[in-house]
Structure 1
Amino acid sequence: MDEPEIETPDPAELPEVCRFIRTKTAYGNATGYEGWQRGDSSTAAYWCLQTMGACGPDDQLVEPKQCRAERSCFARRG
């Protein structure tokens, strides 16, 4: 039995998010990898590795659509 090929998004098409943001959905789900960096999930829980909580060092919510370069605590992946 052939398994269906899972399409993965081009990393260049995904928004750049802070290197300290984490979510369990980053490892995939039943339908495959969909690019958690877009922040499209309505059920994903996110946390910051700097605070180990739902708020970052700037006391703002940890969420892919907010953890971007405009934020004072943002750190690029590298």
Structure 2
Amino acid sequence: MNGILAIELAGASSYDKVSVSGTVTINGGSSGTTGNNFISVTRVNGYAATNTTYAVINNTGSSPISTTFPSLAEAAP
């Protein structure tokens, strides 16, 4: 998959996820820079997400995810 990962949050257990079983590498510029965004998160149906962690990439394989989204640490809130 190439491009922006667009995630919609509708609840603590109702949100978009991507399942992968191969190598995952997140490359490029910094988050928030026009043309170099990697993840877009939208709250829907009036959901007010606060202090919640969302696993948006479900790695079902044995290869680790080699990087994080720019400006976000692993398991960033």
Smaller-chain TM-score bracket: under 0.3
Query: Structure 2 length as normaliser, TM-score?
Result: 0.21
Computing the radius of gyration from Cα coordinates, the structure with the larger value is 1
Structure in which a larger fraction of residues adopt helix: 1
Q: TM-score, normalised by structure 1?
A: 0.21
